[in-house]
Amino acid sequence: MNPRIASMYSIRFVAIMGTKLQKKAGTFGDLKRKYYFCRMKERINWIDWGKALAVITVVFCHLPQSQEWFYYRYLQTCIISIFFFFSGYLKKDHGSDKENWRKYWHGLIIPYLLYNALIYPYWFVKYYLQNGGMPDFLSAMRPIFGALLFQHENAFCEPLDGPLWYLPAILVMHIIVDLCRKTRYQHTILIALCVLSYFVYAGNKSWNFLPNLTFLGLISRLPIYYIGYFWGQKKLFRGISPIRNFGYGLALMLPSIAFFHWHLQLFYIGDMLQFLSTDFLLHIGLFYPVNICFVFGVLYFCKALDGIHSKMIVNLSIGTLVIIGLHIVFITIANFALEHLLHIHGVICYQWYEALPIALLITAIFYPIILWGKKHAPILLGKKRL
């Protein structure tokens, strides 16, 4: 056959087959949409809702508000427990040490170092504005030492990016589980550690021997993490029934609020000076039902929202590290701008109806950064690739 004729037949064959494939699969845009919804199905929608709402609340709680307001103290006490529960719930009970450490490296260690490095120039600007000049060498090293010591604060160091304290705490919890699961008594050891953590937490509250954010988070939230881990391994908490879930959420949030009110009353009027006093031990003990009821109450509400699928919620869930790692910069900018625009003298203090739209605005500012990170820099999201 003539080569030119053969070439024409080949081109025509490819064109016909391409047309058939396009009709069968749809346009490239259709394929992208199918791929996206396929990925959506792989995700747990109510967990995305929980992470998205929790990270917005974290921003809300870091806006300066009065410690006398009950709702503010309540949310400050409870909201971070959501992330510890999810970290335990999603912890895989398989994989080699090498695979696990690869995940920890990309998901916890690199983000912790990266966001502290990104915040460091902000620390210089803040220091200059507060002190009217640049810091000396020792002063400039204090936040570096603080970051390396997991946001510790003393005469020689200070927190650099305080909200990141929970990353090393989760890393330690993951390592504890990895070590315990190599034994025959994994859950017995973990339960014993949770009980021990209660007494260490109580002792630290009384004597304040290590006021480190990461250490406090580790000893106070280890039981929350373990509950999440146990429920995840047993594949519990999977059923979806919106009306029933809403009722369960309400039934759990009410006692959580009541327990927290009791918790505060003991703090203000109880005997908090004696370590073994009934008031002190009860005050510490109430911390756990407050947080456990709060976590499950919020998650039942999120399960009631499971039928609502939103790309924005998924992206906020994926980008929680971006928001937690950098939001303190935008809070400072917002405070500085409002103090000068409104001629506020002294420390600014928001009402809840002022803090909420600011928190939503700051979250919205991060949204395009999250989208950019998904495409160009997944390490910002704690991923090697997406």
Q: For 89-108, what is each residue's pLDDT tens digit?
A: 999 877 788 899 999 999 99
Would residue 69 count as lying in a domain? no
What φ, ψ does residue 334 adopt, rounded to 5°? -60, -45
Q: Which of 200-214, 252-266, 278-292 has the lowest mean pLDDT?
A: 200-214
Cα-based angle 346, 351, 357 (whole degrees, multiple of 5): 110
Mean pLDDT score of the chain, rounded to an integer? 87
Instruction: Please state, in angstroms and rounded to a whole number, the distance separating the CA atoms of residues 87 and 222.
Output: 11
Residue 195 near residue 219, CB atoms below 8 Å: no
The residue segments making up the domain with residue 267 are: 243-306
83 and 125 assigned to the same domain:
yes
- Using CB atoms within 10 Å of the CB of residue 56, give its burial: 0 to 12 exposed, 13 to 18 middle, 19+ buried: buried
- Per the structure, the count of domains in the chain is 3
Name which residue leads in pLDDT, 58 or 337.
Answer: 58
Distances (CA, A) of 239 to 47, 65, 89, 163, 235: 13, 38, 15, 33, 10
b/e sequence 181-218, b meaning 16+ C-beta within 10 Å: beeeebeebbeebbeebbebbbebbbeeeeebbbbbbb
What average pLDDT does the segment 121-138 reach? 92
Q: What is the mean pLDDT of residues 200-206?
A: 87
383 and 247 housed in the same domain: no
Considering the domain architecture, whether residues 82 and 218 belong to the same structural domain is answered as yes
pLDDT score for 272: 65
Nearest to 325 by CA among 139, 52, 59: 59
* pLDDT tens column, 224-236: 999 999 999 999 8
Question: What DSSP assignment string belongs to 2-54?
Answer: -HHHHHHHHHHHHHHHHHHHHHHH--HHHHHHHHHHHHHHHS-HHHHHHHHHH
Two structure tokens written together for 32: 């992208």
My answer on whether 110 and 231 are in the same domain is yes
pLDDT of 386: 65
Same domain, 345 and 334: yes
Is pLDDT above 50 for 211? yes
CA pair distance 177, 168, nearest whole angstrom = 14
Residues sharing a CB contact under 8 Å with residue 141, sequence separation 6 or more, in sequence order: none
The answer to whether residue 144 scores a pLDDT higher than 90 is: yes
- Sorting pLDDT into bands at 50, 70 and 90, what band is 34? very low
One domain for residues 120 and 135: yes
Regarding whether 282 and 333 lie in a shared domain, the answer is no
Q: Are residues 185 and 262 in the same domain?
A: no
Q: For residue 224, what are its two tokens?
A: 């929350």
Model pLDDT, residue 41: 47
pLDDT at 164 over 50: yes
Please compute the mean of the pLDDT values over residues 353-378 and round it to a whole number.
Answer: 96
pLDDT at 3 > cutoff 80? no
Claim to verify: residue 97 and residue 225 sit in the same structural domain: yes
CA-to-CA distance for 19 and 12, rounded, in angstroms?
Answer: 11
**The two structure tokens encoding residue 40:** 């959506």
Handedness of CA 5, 6, 11, 12 (dihedral sign): positive
Residue pointed to by tokens 């928190």:
359
Question: pLDDT tens for residues 166-186?
Answer: 999 999 999 999 999 999 999
289-302 pLDDT tens trace: 999 999 999 999 99
pLDDT at 111 over 70: yes
Single residue among 218, 238, 258 that ends a domain in this structure: 238
Does residue 288 carry a pLDDT above 60?
A: yes
Asked if the model's pLDDT at residue 201 lies above 80, the reply is yes
